[in-house]
Amino acid sequence: MANVNGLTLLRHALLLGALLLSGCHATMQHHDRKLTQRLPPTYPTMPRELSKVVLPAYTIEPPDILQIDALQAVPKSPYALKSLDVLSIQATGTLPESPISGVYPIEPGGNVNLGPPYGLVKVAGLTVPEAQAAIEAHLKEFLREPLVTVALAQLAASQIVTGQYLVGPDGTVTLGSYGSISVVGQTLEQAKYTIEAHLSQYLEDPEVSVSVFAFNSKSYYVVLQGAGLGDGVYRFPITGNETVLDAISQINGLNQVSSKRIWIARPTRELGQVQILPVDYFAITEQAATHSNYQVLPGDRVFIAEDKMVAFDTQLGKLLSPFERIMGFTLLGAQTATRVSGKVLKGGGNPNGGYGGGGFQ
């Protein structure tokens, strides 16, 4: 009876699998027809390998990282000296064994150290002429007629406006003690003038250089359809020179569940409008043809479709797996019941034919 039930379940499962196979096959054909109908022909004017275009001027957006360097950072006069500023000090009439000549940083306490035996001189908060007079008055305690010349060699502020600066979510960069300034949506040239105009509040005719250290806001995507096992999405920064083949090489080629059906989905500003650029993978790879090896632009999705047979096999496995488990448990139960009942009818497995452990002689 158990064997009959198992065979019945097997017949039902095979019938269900055949129905699913025909249904999925029809769905696949319908999907392929839809895909074929909506894929437009090759665009002859689209930029591609051997006929690329230069991308528009780069606009700054979060979370780009900018390299900003102050080429000229002279403070507006009168400038009050601060800690970490560096002074160039030249003095005559000093002791032969203790000359004063060179650059001297202003220490965090606001003092400049002239070395033994002269010691420290407080100069923070003074202008350069005032600092010169203060140093000269201090040296008169040790020398008869010292003559001192003081110049500002380096600003502490110029060290701050140098390095990499992250464009924050609000579109601003923070320039240390000079505050924040908005640069979102600007080109590098516009950002340069904006930053210089902001620094002119504190510096005399400032000049800066601005470049992009990390292109984080402009990117394209490679989408791998996963044949029912989960899709993969990979994001890569745009450098302005990528083609479809470059994008595929970034993921080390196609995987086992991928087909050769590839296209670029390009976003458009018109709501509901989609631009699809089909890619002839065999022509690109086997024949070095460039007609569909399009240049990848910011925001493009390079879509690699799944292999339909692998996808069907995955779906079929998901649908039949519960029935296989049910049948496995049923057959296992039937076999166990048959073995147990056979042993009981034969006397519980006692070779002497009796019940129990001993038997009668």
Consecutive H or E run containing 31: helix 2-38
Tally the domains of the chain.
4
Residues 6+ positions from 193 with CB-CB distance below 8 Å: none
* 51 and 33 fall within a common domain: no
- Distance CA(105)–CA(87), nearest Å, equals 6
Confidence category of residue 256, pLDDT binned at 50, 70, 90: confident
Mean pLDDT, range 158-164, rounded to an integer: 79
Q: Each residue of 273-305: pLDDT tens digit?
A: 788 999 999 999 999 999 999 999 999 999 999
Q: Does 332 reside within a domain?
A: no
CATH code (residue 180):
3.30.1950.10
Residue 79 lies in a domain: no
Residue 355 in any domain: the answer is no
**Which of 214, 232, 260 finishes a domain?**
214
**Structural domain contains residue 77:** no
Q: Can you give the pLDDT at residue 319?
A: 81
Domain boundary among 195, 214, 233: 214
DSSP 8-state assignment for residue 178: G
Position 322 pLDDT exceeds 50: yes
Query: Containing domain of residue 96, as a range?
Result: 86-154
Tell me: do 244 and 298 sit in the same domain: yes
Distances (CA, A) of 51 to 46, 289, 293, 353: 9, 13, 10, 93
pLDDT band at residue 272 using 50, 70 and 90 as cut-offs: confident
What is the reported pTM? 0.62
Which residue type, as a one-letter code, is found at position 162?
T
Same-domain pairing of 16 and 92:
no
| Mean pLDDT along residues 74-82 | 84
CATH number for the domain spanning 256: value is 3.10.560
Task: Evaluate whether 332 touches 338 at the Cβ level (below 8 Å).
Answer: no
**Among 105, 126, 154, which residue terminates a domain?**
154
Percent of the chain with pLDDT over 90: 51
162 φ, ψ (degrees, to nearest 5)? -155, 120
Residues 31 and 103 placed together within one structural domain of the fold: no
Q: Quick one: CA dihedral 350, 354, 355, 357, positive or negative? A: negative
Band of residue 148 on the pLDDT scale cut at 50, 70, 90: very high
Are 273 and 307 contained in the same domain? Answer: yes
Residue 66, domain member (yes or no): no
Same domain, 141 and 183: no
Does the residue 189 lie in any domain? yes
Please check whether residue 300 lies inside any domain of the structure. yes
In a domain, 69, yes or no: no
Residues 252 and 314 in one domain: yes
pLDDT tens figures, 179-229: 899 999 999 999 999 999 999 988 888 999 999 999 899 999 999 998 888
